[in-house]
Amino acid sequence: MCGIVGYIGPQPAAPLLLRGLEKLEYRGYDSAGLAVREDDKLRVIKTVGRLQDLRDILEHTAAPRGTLGIGHTRWATHGRPSDENAHPHTDCSGRIAVVHNGIIENYKELREWLVEDGHTFKSETDTETVAHLIESFYEGDLVAAVRKTIKRLEGSYALGVIHLDEPEVLVAARQDSPLIVGLGEGENFLASDIPAVLEHTRKVYILDDGEVARLTADKVEIIDATGSPVDKDVFEVAWDPVMAEKGGYDHFMIKEIYEQPKAVRDTLKGRVAEGRVVLDDVDLDSETAKKIKKIYITAAGTAYHAGLVGKYVIEKLARIPVEVDLSSEFRYRDLMIDEDCLTVVISQSGETADTLASLREAKRRGSRILAITNVVGSSVSRETHDVIYTWAGPEIAVASTKAYLTQLVSLYLLALYLAQERGTIDQGQLKAYLDSLQELPQGIQAVLDSEQTIAELAQEFKEKEDIFFIGRGLDYAVAMEGSLKLKEISYIHAEAYAAGELKHGTLALIVEGVPVFALATQTRLRDKMVSNMKEVKARDATIITVANRGDESIKEASDRVIYIPETEELFRPVLAVVPLQLFAYHAALARGCDVDKPRNLAKSVTVE
């Protein structure tokens, strides 16, 4: 969610901080600010609203000239969006400035203690507590004060701290919230995500929980929770910073939709060899795979919808019972998990708070953990036993598209791998599935080539305030994702229903002219699906069907038909969701919505 940047070096900090925050806008925010050391004072400039509002303020009040600073984009957790609640926050004297991602769970008790001790607060936030704690503990050594402070904190945090008395030092600390250090030449950077520093360096340190970093222009020192020095490996960022730009497209979302053929191709690359699945970061041999009695899949949002597809596919191919749960629910259940279970956690960022907590709970109960994530070095990837990386590259738009497709492909690879190791599939079947899997990028491109038709459809229905999605089996999982995409960015009320449940109440919502997307790609369920479509059509709804190419008779029960190329039935969700992504994008565009930054939403949900 929130974005952190920090800089220390010879260059003016303010422009660098603003540029870094701009690269983190995809995370979602409601206010922005920065603090820069200028001569013998800290200049703090912050405002509710967008980065442009902050730039406007700086244009009308001379920008700070200092070369040490921190910046932040905030997504409100404690305290409404306001100038006062925006970061950075300062102590009583104004000599310490702090930016923070995460939630301090015991901030109320700490605040009460600090107020009794004479401290005055200016905001409603939990973060300001940190600034005052550091003030209380400061005795000439900022690292020591930060270390004493974090020992008092309960919850999650990524911190950037500067102090007027130490003009050559930037301090960072992390617990359950991502933070990286960018390594430059005679300058160093701090950020909550890699895109903020790629313009300046590809070399980064990825901080681990409990670590504190001391940055100067020429040096970075890291210590662990015990105070011992950490000799950390440099992580070399492989992807091109240009990938994080729009590349000529009007929005990141449409760019990322069009990147899906490549993203799927990259996710498959090197993982299919000689008719077998090869997963280098998965150490599940045949004996271990055969011992798995049950699989739990847990995720949130779009990743959860991918998990629903995964359930169908793993059960069919690997013959293992699978249970799928929202991570925000999973972590609070009385779970019947043991060493014979495999828990699969799915998170694009690898930092989703509930998913990370679910991982830790399942691990505590003895389960083996396998993660599917897009971010190398993320918390999820480091805490799991096995990992399948979705090589989607950076995804900037809040509404996930290419990450979702690569999660589906990763689940297909996992299902086929387990089937291969457990012996539940013969070599001929395995090769046929893998051949079909490798043809998916061409199929996705074929759907993308029909964009103009889908754009015209979105224009036709842009004034509608209710749109429904129905499907059976794998199509129901796709319907859920299509519904989510539409309401996320167009603000049209959209709901997905299992088509077989229509007569159990949903038909009451079907009135004349209401659009209903009908997913009808599953061959063995096709006839039942057509019956459900006719029920809806009888209530004078407008039926837009997503069907397999060649299914001409489906037109009789439809008002419009969007055809997808023929592929293996299990893999049709990959193709069927693409027209729904395009429809959501063009509906949002037609309604004048902010496609890449939908209201009230954030890209990476790092708090509960």
How far apart (Å, rounded) are the C-alpha atoms in residues 96 and 75? 22
In 350-423, which ranges are E strands? 368-373, 386-389
Contact 47, 57 (CB under 8 A): yes
Q: What is the 3-state secondary structure (H, E, C) of 28-44?
A: CCCEEEEEEEECCEEEE
DSSP 8-class letter at 513: T
Which uninterrupted H or E stretch holds 531?
Answer: helix 526-537
The type of residue at 257 is I
Distance of CA 150 to the CA centre of its chain: 26
How far apart (Å, rounded) are the C-alpha atoms in residues 227 and 422? 46
Pairs from 479-483 (Cβ < 8 Å, separation ≥ 24): 479/517, 479/519, 480/305, 480/308, 481/302, 481/305, 481/306, 481/404, 481/577, 481/580, 482/517, 482/519, 482/577, 482/580, 482/581, 482/583, 482/584
| Gyration radius (Cα) of the chain, Å | 25
Residue 2 falls in the annotated catalytic set? yes
How far apart (Å, rounded) are the C-alpha atoms in residues 241 and 396? 12
- In sequence order, the 6+-apart residues with CB closer than 8 A to the CB of 112 are none
Q: Which residues of 318-340 are buried (b: 16+ CB within 10 A; e: fewer)?
A: bebebbbbbbbebbeeebebeee
Strand order in the sheet with 68-74: 41-48, 31-38, 68-74, 3-8, 188-191, 180-183, 203-206, 235-236
Residue 603 falls in the annotated catalytic set? yes
Contact 50, 594 (CB under 8 A): no
Handedness of CA 560, 437, 485, 479 (dihedral sign): positive
Among candidates 452, 459, 380, 393, which has minimal Cα distance to 260? 393
CB count in 10 Å sphere of residue 438: 14
Distance of CA 1 to the CA centre of its chain: 9
- In sequence order, the 6+-apart residues with CB closer than 8 A to the CB of 7 are 13, 16, 17, 20, 67, 68, 69, 70, 170, 187, 188, 189, 190
Contact 107, 126 (CB under 8 A): yes
- Which of 2, 311, 485, 597 does the annotation list as catalytic? 2
Contact 147, 154 (CB under 8 A): no
Structure tokens at 329: 């629910």
Identify how many contiguous H helices and E strands the chain contains and give both numbers: 19, 26
Bridge partners (DSSP) listed for residue 7: 69, 189
- Which of 311, 402, 597, 603 does the annotation list as catalytic? 603
How far apart (Å, rounded) are the C-alpha atoms in residues 437 and 441? 9
How far apart (Å, rounded) are the C-alpha atoms in residues 531 and 3? 49
- Indicate which residues carry an active-site annotation: 2, 603
